[in-house]
Structure 1
């Protein structure tokens, strides 16, 4: 399978995050390494609009067959459009058919080659239309509330939050680490359908870096593993 790593240059929450040094290595390098070491990944392609990201990605072994156009690199661009554009252009320029892709966001540095291979195994065994990595929610989602401007509570759900914690069914949230997607699903404008399945990952490898605090937590996790 082809792995696509989306890495645009602009980042509001943490400027330059995709190539920011994490334990001495650019953040994106961890995802490139994981993809290159995954047994079921045949190509690793980085989609970027940024020349510096492209150069670093090449140095770590990824392909940059073309640069991402500006209209897919602004704040309003949708990720799904980036993937469809990349597939279409690869098919046209290489005269090939691409029926599925693996999307690996560079902001998940603790995701490993083993995680990728296990998720692909799930995809193949289930004959899935998509497989997306998820992480168990720490607290019951029914405890969540809207808060009004003057600080009052507004209910999101029913009164299920009044049950004991052990009586509430566990919920999960996507951790952003792995997306395995059939082209037909992407072309429909979705990531999920009735043929979609979850690949569950532990919380301690599910950090998705968006802020400096996320970055420091990932750095701490890596340092802790090395001890």
Structure 2
């Protein structure tokens, strides 16, 4: 039985308003995107790691770190471009180059670098063992959520008349943007990373750190330093 072809795709645009040059900004001694590239390369299940970008500096950094690079056209690289457009473009390029589609895609956002060494492999195994068509990573959420409609506040995920204790709430999870696993055929058919039967891969709360502001960057730096200290003990 042949080894499944599993491609990790890491989209990384050059434009960033909150942190200029964010995707190659230093974090814990290396460019931000390199954390995710190295995690993908260390995976025992991922057979190829690809960065799709419109930025030559990101491309050079990614190649130096060991990833292949697909140049993304400007039309799908602006502020309003979706991740799906970059994923579809990358898949179509791979299909043209290789004559076939990979068995699975693992979409990794480089702005969510707080993955443990085995998270990618465990996410892939979760999808395969569950028989799911797609998977997203989540972190536990214990927040009381509200919305406002026509000036009136309404509770969403609990009844404020009977406020539950945190430990008594039904488990809820927030999409953390770290890992998605899906089949390329489904992406091309639906233009969506998620379809069919969807599985959850549950991660720690700190995996929900998504680097968008300088404060997020500082928090990620602290958490990575703490992990390094624990690993040295």
TM-score, with length taken from structure 2: 0.88
The residue aligned with 2:224 is: 222
Instruction: Provide the rounded CA distance (Å) in 2 between the counterparts of 1:50 and 1:147.
Output: 41
Aligned-residue Cα RMSD (Å) equals 1.9
The answer to which of 11-20 and 114-123 deviates more is 11-20
C-alpha distance in 2 between matches for 1:157 and 1:5: 33
Kindly provide the CA deviation profile for residues 20-55 of structure 1, in whole angstroms up to 9, marking residues without a partner as x.
Answer: 001221000100100000000000000000000000
Q: 1:158, 1:30 → 2: CA distance?
A: 35
Name the residue aligned to 2:176.
175
- In structure 1, C-alpha distance between the alignment counterparts of 2:73 and 2:158, rounded to whole Å: 48
Deviation at 1:222, TM superposition (A): 1.4
- Deviation string for 1:45-70 (max 9, x for gaps)? 00000000000011111111x31000
Which 5+ residue runs of structure 1 have no aligned equivalent? none
Rate the CA distance shift 1:159–1:20 in 2: closer, same or farther, 3 A: closer
Quote the residue 2:100 is aligned against.
Answer: 96
Cα distance in structure 1, aligned partners of 2:155 and 2:37 = 39
**Partner in structure 2 of residue 185 of structure 1:** 186
Q: Report the counterpart of residue 3 of structure 2 in structure 1.
A: none
Matching residue of 1:5: 10
Could you tell me which runs of 5 or more consecutive residues in structure 2 were left unpaired when the two chains were aligned.
1-5
| Number of equivalenced pairs | 221
- The partner residue of 1:135 within 135, 139, 142 is 139
Distance 1:123 1:20, change over 3 A: same
| Kept after mapping to 1: 8 A contact 2:144/2:158 | no
Match of 1:164 in 2: 164
Q: Which moved more, 1:201-210 or 1:152-161?
A: 152-161
Q: Aligned partners of 2:157 and 2:123: how far apart in 1?
A: 34
CA distance in 2, matches of 1:96, 1:191: 19
- Quick check: 2:144–2:155 contact (8 Å CA) kept in 1? no
SS at match of 1:113: coil
8 Å contact from structure 1 (residues 35, 113) kept in 2? no
CA distance in 2, matches of 1:204, 1:124: 25
TM-score using structure 1 length: 0.90
Runs of 4+ in 1 over 4 A off after TM superposition: none
Structure 2 residue corresponding to 1:206, chosen from 205, 208, 214 = 208
Indicate the SS of the match to 2:118: helix
